[in-house]
Structure 1
Amino acid sequence: MATSSSKRQSVLPRAPAGPKAPVNFSSSLIIADSAVLLGHHTINISSESVVHPRAKLDSSNGRITIGRRCIIHERSLLGAPSNDKTPIDSRDGVVLSDYITVDVGAVIESGGTNIGESSTIGVGCRVGRGAKLGKHCTLTPRSIVLPGERIPDFTVVYSNGTRRTDNRRVADLKHKTQARQIDVLRRLIPSNPAKFQ
């Protein structure tokens, strides 16, 4: 029969493995208490960006920079290690420009990986180390961008590997929608940036 102290220990949340990452946060950041930030390099998050519960930012393999009004959804991983060992010349692990959405379960590998402004990384996508996505790109769910791959502006990448150019030119509408979504999330996600500083 288990004692009451052993029952209490089994329900305690586990501490994240690894060192506490140095951070540089905007004062208007929304970051959930249950987000995980770890690593040796600085994690920079700009104004009005949102980090959902259980999102993981790992700066063990390089600095992470997140631009303005980005949304990092739950169970996504920024700064994942890569199996690709091709040498690269970069101190940055992952750089997200402004108005980026990283959806649930998406993985962005560390190592000079850049995501251009107003791009969307869909559910369960993987962006390889050193990949460069242009502005206004969309990765549909479960799409894969290979390490070092270059994706031009306005490209839609599908999970079956096909691609097309998005000619809708709805950037202004997307920016307004992202700002409204952030306003809603501000009321829904209790933010605790002090926990990470």
Structure 2
Amino acid sequence: MSSSSSKRHSILPPISQSGPKPPVQFSSSITIADSALLTGSNPILISSESVIHPRARLDSLSGRITIGRRCIIHERSTLGAVGTSGRITDKAVALGDYVTVEVGASIEAGDTVIGDGTTIGVGAKVGAGAVVGRNCTITARSEIKAGEVVEDNVVVYSNGMRRVDRRGVAELRNKGQARQIGVLRMMIPSNPAKFQ
């Protein structure tokens, strides 16, 4: 194998933790990848059976981050991003149960609340202080403005259009999420001790 060929196949160095190590409170049943990034000085609380993917970033510098039961936080997503206001609050971000934050999505700090069963799509952004209701779908690349309130069961599209989802599939979605978590627990090597 040539030296140029071996360079192409080399493994990238692991991501190092930057910034202060936050106080954490984890359920014993969570799955958190070794390469997840947890920074800040306020508590990070993660409830039972939630999954934190590799390279997900939880930043508690602006306030406490609370993640409910059976949530999935995908790679390259950010919880607690400092928004344009830069304000520090008691609660940076609070996620209800069965919330999914997909790849590259960003939820800014500032008493931002995401309701039970809501999905934040790929590359979507939720501004500081926004309140997103239960069982909502924020589609890929959509933006919820700072301080905005989204009612329960609303689908928000990236072009600004919205509709109410009247299908009543929340229970089926939760069952699917639980199954997905079962698979992810087998696929993602978990190392909660690294963060404690």
Q: What is residue 165 of structure 1 aligned with on the other side?
A: 164
Q: Deviations over 1:6-53 (max 9, x none)?
A: xxxxx6435232101110000000000000001000000000000000
Instruction: Find the aligned partners of 2:14 and 2:32 in 1 and give their Cα distance.
Output: 18
Q: Do 2:14 and 2:35's aligned partners in 1 also have CA atoms closer than 8 Å? A: no
SS in 1 for 2:175: helix
Instruction: Find the aligned partners of 1:70 and 1:151 in 2 and give their Cα distance.
Output: 20
SS in 2 for 1:183: helix
Q: What is residue 186 of structure 1 aligned with on the other side?
A: 185
Q: Deviations over 1:81-138 (max 9, x none)?
A: 01135x78x4100000000000000000001000000000000000000000000000
SS in 2 for 1:34: coil
Q: Do 1:130 and 1:148's aligned partners in 2 also have CA atoms closer than 8 Å? A: yes
Asked if 1:47 is matched to 2:48, the reply is yes
Q: How does 1:139-154 map to 2 (within 5 A)?
A: 139-154=138-153
SS in 2 for 1:179: helix
Asked if 1:155 is matched to 2:160, the reply is no
Q: What is residue 78 of structure 2 aligned with on the other side?
A: 77
The 1:14/1:170 distance shift into structure 2, 3 A limit, reads closer
Asked if 1:59 is matched to 2:55, the reply is no
Q: What is residue 8 of structure 1 aligned with on the other side?
A: none
The one-letter code matched in structure 1 to 2:53 is H
Instruction: Find the aligned partners of 1:108 and 1:19 in 2 and give their Cα distance.
Output: 20
The one-letter code matched in structure 2 to 1:57 is L
Instruction: Find the aligned partners of 1:154 and 1:37 in 2 and give their Cα distance.
Output: 31
Q: Deviations over 1:152-175 (max 9, x none)?
A: 000000000110000001011011
Instruction: Find the aligned partners of 2:132 and 2:78 in 1 and give their Cα distance.
Output: 17
The one-letter code matched in structure 2 to 1:68 is R
Query: What TM-score results when the alignment is normalised by the length of structure 2?
Result: 0.92
* Identity value in percent: 62
Q: How does 1:103-122 map to 2 (within 5 A)?
A: 103-122=102-121
Instruction: Find the aligned partners of 2:85 and 2:126 in 1 and give their Cα distance.
Output: 12
Q: Do 1:84 and 1:147's aligned partners in 2 also have CA atoms closer than 8 Å? A: no
Structure 1: stretches of 5+ with no match in the other structure: 1-10
SS in 2 for 1:95: strand
Asked if 1:13 is matched to 2:14, the reply is yes
The one-letter code matched in structure 2 to 1:145 is I
Q: What is residue 27 of structure 1 aligned with on the other side?
A: 28
Aligned residues: 186
Query: What TM-score results when the alignment is normalised by the length of structure 1?
Result: 0.91
